[in-house]
Chains A and B, each alone.
Chain A
Amino acid sequence: MVNEMIAVGLGEIKVSKNPDSTLVCFGLGSCVAVGIYDSINRIGGMAHVVLPDSSIGLAHGSPGKYADTAIPALIEQLKAAGARKSHMRVKIAGGAKMFASSPGLSNVLDVGTKNVAAVKKALASCGLRIAAEDCGGRAGRTFMLSLKDGVARVRTLGRSEIEL
């Protein structure tokens, strides 16, 4: 069976029950990818979080854009697909600081750190703990979650691929 790559774009949430698929967030910078996997029912989902808090922007569009709305929405979509919260394992990656000193991006210079903190807070509010993470730093990442076994991998330019 050919492994299906399911790309999760900016602000998107995707859930799959196909064990031969891999959910992928390509080229994460300050964004955070949240991957959740139910190993018993073999259902997985991923959110590509762009910003920490829906109250700081115009709270419209996809709930996947903001950490505080993306996490509950992802959990609900997983439950609707048949996953159980007690079986969910969470892995996250991203939240890098890509620009060092650009004044025009002053509002978001530290958005990566804020995204990671907001994702952790939202997960805690929903009663989920993080099993593994690769966050922060100055490098972009591609985050992949295999729905065959729940193994997550992180690819970074200039570094060997790591398993979470």
Chain B
Amino acid sequence: MTNGDVGLGEERERLMGRVVTAAMAKSTESLSKMTGANVSIESLKFGLVPISSAAQLAGGPDTPAAGVYLSVSGDITGHTLLLFPQSCALDLVDLLCERPKGTTEVLDCMGRSCLGEVGNITSTSFLIGLSEHTGLKLRPSPPEVVQDMVGAILSTILADLGLVSDEMFVIETEFADEHTSIAGVFLFVPMGDSLQTILSSLECHADGE
């Protein structure tokens, strides 16, 4: 998946790139405030990927990971998923709890709660950014923390998407700060006609500017 070939057309790709960048900037700003670290975006890619290869995201299908899932309803439907490799999830909990790196060895109740909040803030900040650029009403669900292999977590979402499409639109990004590598991957997956709704709303907003 590269930004040079997202399958949207040049103009829509430009508009989408602008809103994705702005929405992710809002997410990292919120994440920085929460963690007290200077979190930035390491990479940002978006585009259409075949469902059959989607499980290769975030380190591969049997990579141990912790994810925070939210569903999106309102004017569109979709899913957000913030995925961290297991070791990074534990480092992030240490960062949030102001403990030395390596202290947290398993994700206990407190750790899951911390991670859930990170996922909640990242996803809802992104959705607020998206809403501001499109005028769409977006309602996130409460976060759900899940720990398992990347493929096992993703496949349940892909099964939902697989009812209507063989491709999915994915925003993939990695976060980092200057001290702790936070190699999280954020996925935003609009369902069905939702991508079309987002693009149409973006064009309307762009025309009004």
Instruction: Give the interface centre of A11, A104, A111 by most chain B CB atoms within 10 Å.
Output: A104
A65→B149 CA distance, assembly (Å): 20
Count B-side interface residues using an 8 Å CB cutoff: 40
A126→B156 CA distance, assembly (Å): 27
Counting residue pairs across A and B whose Cβ atoms lie within 8 Å, the total is 129
**1/0 contact trace for B68-105 toward A, CB 8 Å?**
01111100011100000000000000000000000000
Taking the closest CB of chain B, its distance from the CB of A43, in whole angstroms, is 24
Whether B132 is near chain A, meaning CB under 8 Å from some CB there, is no
Secondary structure of the B contact surface, majority rule: mixed
Residues of A within 8 A of B73 (CB): 103-104
A30→B100 CA distance, assembly (Å): 37
Residues of A within 8 A of B77 (CB): 104
Whether B153 is near chain A, meaning CB under 8 Å from some CB there, is yes
With both beta carbons as reference points, the residue of chain A lying nearest to B151 in the complex is identified as A27
Count A-side interface residues using an 8 Å CB cutoff: 38
Taking the closest CB of chain A, its distance from the CB of B98, in whole angstroms, is 28
**1/0 contact trace for B137-162 toward A, CB 8 Å?**
00001001011111111111111101
Taking the closest CB of chain A, its distance from the CB of B88, in whole angstroms, is 16
Contact B151 A26 (CB under 8 A): yes
**1/0 contact trace for A17-50 toward B, CB 8 Å?**
0000000001111110000000000000000001
Contact B52 A96 (CB under 8 A): no
Residues of B within 8 A of A29 (CB): 148-149, 151-156
Residues of B within 8 A of A96 (CB): 152
Secondary structure of the A contact surface, majority rule: loop
Contact A98 B60 (CB under 8 A): no
Residues of B within 8 A of A139 (CB): 148, 152
Contact B148 A11 (CB under 8 A): no
Whether B17 is near chain A, meaning CB under 8 Å from some CB there, is no
Q: Which of B55, B69, B165 contacts A27 (CB 8 A)?
A: B55
A51→B79 CA distance, assembly (Å): 18
Besides A10-B54, A96-B152, A99-B144, 16 other CB < 8 A contacts?
Answer: A9-B53, A10-B158, A26-B62, A50-B155, A98-B153, A101-B144, A103-B71, A103-B73, A104-B72, A105-B156, A105-B157, A105-B160, A108-B156, A108-B159, A108-B160, A142-B61
